[in-house]
Structure 1
Amino acid sequence: MALSDVKIRALKARDKLYKVPDDRGLYVEVSPKGAKLWRFRYFFHGKDKRIALGSYPAVGLADARKKRDDIQQAIAEGVDPILERKRAKLAAAFGAANTFGEIAEEYIEKMVAEGRAEATTVKANWLLEQLKPLAKMPVADIKPIEVLGALKKLSARGKYETARRCRSFASRVFRYAVATGRGEMDPTSVLRGALIAPRTKHHPALVEPEAVGELLRTIDAYSGNAITRLACQISPHVMLRPGELRQSSWSDIDRDKAVWTIPAECMKMRRPHAVPLSRQVLQYLEELYPLTGPEGFVFPAFHTSKRPMSENTVNQAFRRMGYAAGEVTAHGLRTTASSLLNESGKWSPDAIERSLAHADANAIRGIYNRGRYWEERVAMHQWWSDYLDELRVARSIVRAA
């Protein structure tokens, strides 16, 4: 017999939970504490299922019956109400994380899951910190003028490059928000040209042979930490970026085959990079091996072997040698190599670019070139080390010819 409000109110608690049916699968479940919960029993693809419809009296008899009828209609259309409810809860939880800060953190987590380099994700977190004024704002409500205000604060402190990078990072976050259904537009798209363009800064580098020779002699005479000295001695020969050098492990180096292979995750362009090792580099590695080998980082941090050498260690060594920040940097040694190798006229520009691990605009051509120029690069690296030795011992200018 169908229920009525009078009958439902009269239901009393018992020692055990019990059920009282209404009609067409709808029933009231009464708990030992007297709570009354509406439930609906149905079959979906042959499976016996039950779904909660709310508690009485918050959900009255008429409302419960209407919910039952709506669910029956959904079932007739092939929709499982329990699965649909789970999807709605997930969508609600997903949509609730709609502030710029929350979506930016989610985007960074996605970068980590995709295997992006640690340095890249650390930089992304740092950029998010710079955009703190936007962090708690719902992403769909942020207007271009509000983004511009946050960026202008950075520009006002002379941080033009930081402002530019923050605009680019914010753009990626907004586009991710649009793609995941929580944003409507990228408000940074109209801000191009609104910020002060940073001046291009080139890494300080020595390009005169006599000055390079003086630098090499100064490095040899360095009386500080031996591992730091060897990092300074090896850097000019291998043409690696400072981060690639200091994050390398002994497992990356095959001294028998004279090849130093940098894994893709440590490379700026996310592609593995092989460096031919000259006799001189192999000799430096022989000296370094007893200090830091046979496992772990080639250039570990001073205080722990579990971390690589600090990114400032080599540059600080140059400062202690008497070179100002505007004269010599670890990264600038790549410019030194590029300039003098091109000046020599002995080597193809493509081979030089391969050794510098610069990206080829043509991806197919780049893959082909990596193999094609290997033998030339082997010869070039040995010539380059020999030439550096000449500069080290010479007291007058030795041109790369």
Structure 2
Amino acid sequence: MAKTVLPLTDTKIKSAISQQKKVLEKNIKLSDGDGLYLLLDKKGGTYWRLDYVRPISKKRSTLALGVYPEVTLADARVKRAELRKLIAQNIDPGEIKIKEKERALFVADNTFKFIAEEFRKTEELEPSTQKRNAFVWEKLYLSIGDYPISEITAAQILDACRLYEKQGKTDSARRMRSKASQVYRYAIALGLCQFNIADQISGILKTGTKTHRAAITDSEKLGQLLTNIDENFGRGEITVDYAVKILPHVFVRPGELRSAKWADIDFEKRLWSYTPPKTKNQTALQHIVPLSNQVYGLLKELYRITGNSEYCFVSMRNSNQVISDSTINKRLKQYGFENGETTGHGFRATARTLLDEVLKFPIERIEQQLAHQVRDMHGRAYNRTKYLEERIVMMQVWSDYLDKLKIRVC
């Protein structure tokens, strides 16, 4: 005959606790029936426990239900009823508890900052771009970095971005949202969350007044700049001088010119072929720059200086590095043009404007030579080698035009 267990009462519990405090020799179990009991340990602790048989393995196990009196007798009985109901359905509450603990640890480990740091390892960016992005990451980490990525709300990201929007830093705010969105796309791919909540605030942030990079589009001023470059050639670091002299002719991004490698330059075919870092992840297509007679001659001269190095524009101060990202703009300022009047990147806008408006070349060929995403009438992306012969002619005409501008102002 099964042993009859009398239900507990608060009076009985308090009396037992009082006696236990006097003795403190051994643990005492106060049973309430159906596996529920209050454990009074010899250190003075009072813990609810539930003994049960696991549905699958049929092994005995024990669950902790909380501490008395924070968990009252009535609370403990409600928990017992809930757990017994699960057991009756062949569901092991112990397994549920283990999974809940694992989930809690998983969420705690996968903070926005942790996932963002993993994502940043996958980015292939120029050092200058990484440096520019650093403050964006810092601001995101300050606002939401320590929160589990799956528990952050769109409102939290919006609030973080608007802190800088209110200061008039609209570009910073929009870049913060963009970077957060990239992290969420990465997290979704890893199965860490289901929704890109950063995309939910797209379009809400203000758009600041767009300012284009400074560029000279007046032919007389451009001729004066080119003349100044020639007159000052050889007075500074020689590789910087060659970079500034070549850049107007090829109008690539300054970072792409600075990192040019001799292995990518084919002197026989007079072509420079490389994959622009900005489009590497999207297309992985090579960009081809035809070398005009002027550029060919300058590179031949430079090869005699840095031909033993991997990079064309290696730093004369440190043979393991290329010239820095600020040297070109600094040199332009030394040639008589103040900050903001022109930049290395501005030569791209200069070439685009004058090749179109003055030399009348098709805008599609110009855009293609700028390594922009150009599509044909059917919406297909142009192959980088398509219309190469036309672009070879265009690049030579452009170099000849630049030389004529210098003659005009001499």
TM-score with structure 1 setting the length: 0.70
Aligned to 1:208: 218
Query: Does residue 310 in structure 1 map to residue 324 in structure 2?
Result: yes
Alignment counterpart, residue 143 of structure 2, candidates 121, 130, 133 = 133
Q: Amino acid of the residue matched to residue 138 of structure 2?
A: E
Shift of 1:390: 0.7
Equivalent residue for 1:107, pick from 90, 106, 119? 119
Moved more, 87-96 or 370-379: 87-96
RMSD of aligned Cα (Å)? 3.4
CA contact (8 A) 1:297 1:305 kept: no
Name the stretch that deviates more: 328-337 or 169-178. Answer: 169-178
8 A contact 1:247–1:266 mirrored in 2: no
1:278 aligns with 2:288: no
CA contact (8 A) 2:113 2:146 kept: yes
Letter in 1 for 2:392: V
2:158 is matched with 148
Give the structure 1 partner of residue 335 of structure 2.
Answer: 321
Gap regions ≥5 residues in structure 1: 1-61, 71-86, 397-401
User: Is it true that 1:263 corresponds to 2:280 in the alignment?
Assistant: no
Q: Does 1:294 align with 2:308?
A: yes
1:192 aligned onto 2:202: yes
Question: 1:361-383, CA deviations, whole angstroms, 9 ceiling, x for partnerless residues?
Answer: 46986555533311111111111
SS state at 2:347 partner: helix
Partner of 2:33: none
Q: C-alpha distance in 2, partners of 1:308/1:364? A: 41
**Alpha-carbon spacing, 1:369–1:180, altered in 2? closer, same or farther (3 Å):** closer
Contact 1:239 1:334 in 2 (8 A): yes
Indicate the SS of the match to 2:391.
Answer: helix
For residues 58-88 of structure 1, give each alpha carbon's deviation from its aligned partner in whole angstroms, at most 9, with x where no partner exists: xxxx879767448xxxxxxxxxxxxxxxx99
Q: Deviation digits for residues 291-326 of structure 1, max 9, x if unmatched?
A: 222331111234322222211110011112221222
1:376 is aligned to 390
Residue in structure 1 matched with residue 405 of structure 2 by the alignment: 391
Larger Rg: 2
CA, structure 1 residues 89+144, in 2 after alignment: closer, same or farther (shift >3 Å)? Answer: closer
Does residue 228 (structure 1) correspond to residue 240 (structure 2)? The answer is: yes
AA partner of residue 389 (structure 2): E
Aligned equivalent of 1:358: 372
Q: Distance in 2 between matches of 1:296 and 1:357?
A: 24
Name the structure 2 match of 1:79. none
How many residue pairs get aligned? The number is 322
Sequence identity (%): 37
Q: State whether structure 2 residue 250 is matched by structure 1 residue 250.
A: no
TM-score between the two structures when normalised by the length of structure 2: 0.69
What SS does the corresponding residue of 2:272 show, helix, strand or coil? strand
Kept in 2, the 8 Å contact 1:98–1:139? The answer is yes
Aligned equivalents of 1:179, 1:373: Cα separation in 2: 38
1:181 deviates by: 3.8
Instruction: Kindly report which structure 2 residues correspond to 1:66-145, keeping only aligned pairs within 5 A, or say none.
Output: 68-69=57-58, 95-109=107-121, 111-112=122-123, 116-119=124-127, 126-131=135-140, 132-145=142-155
